[in-house]
Amino acid sequence: ITRMNFTLWLLLSFCGLTLAQEGLPETEVTTETGSCFPDMCKFLKEFGAMKAKLEAVETNLKEKSEAVEAKLKETESQVVFSAGILGDAAIGPFNTPTTLIYTRVITNLGNAYNQNTGIFVAPVRGMYYLSFFYHAGGEHPVHLLLMKNNERILDSSDHKTLNDGADNGGNAAFVELQQGDQVNVQLQPNTHVWGNLYSTTFSGFLLHQV
């Protein structure tokens, strides 16, 4: 566009110089920018129209480019995960708090959940929905905590019962996380859950960035 403006300036200067020349042909006409030959005036009008069209195209391309960038950014920030525990056996009881490792990944859009550590790391600052569910036998108590950076967010528990063959439970919450925050499910000492990839699960997703 800058080169076009310079060219237009040269053409207008040329038209202005013709005013100083004597003996101009009778075909010379007057325009808003001065006097020039009919062919030159026609060219200037067409050039101006072309310049306006190019500016409109440039604006349109810029708007489309910004829309594509926004869509790509939205896609990159999609975070969804859900995982269960492989095996069909009791986990625990242990003497110390133990992070549950959900080794069977159901979905992990954004790759923010680590199936080797059982820890979800928030890739962006935002509002997240987090949940965990468990299946357990009645012969041992159950006590699970949802932890963020080693601090409790939620818990779910069930006492020992001899008349109840099995129990199911869980909890969920909307949680604002900062980029890099770590979330995991922790089994408390002297309690247990039943490892089951269908009913003992850990899930979460990003609602929106903040």
Q: Give the residues across from 34 on adjacent strands.
A: 31
**Alpha carbon distance 27, 12 (integer Å):** 18
* pTM, 2 dp: 0.66
Q: What is the pLDDT of residue 63?
A: 80
Tokens of 210: 């903040």
Q: What is the pLDDT of residue 51?
A: 82
Closest CA to 176 of 128, 107, 122: 128
CATH 3.40.50.300 fits 78-209, yes or no: no
Residues in the chain where the model's pLDDT stays below 70:
1-38, 70-76
Q: What is the pLDDT of residue 75?
A: 57
**Alpha carbon distance 162, 137 (integer Å):** 10
Radius of gyration of the chain (CA): 35
Q: What is the pLDDT of residue 23?
A: 46
Please provide the size of the chain in residues: 210
Count of beta carbons in the 10 Å neighbourhood of residue 203: 21
Q: Where are the domains of the chain?
A: 2-75, 78-209
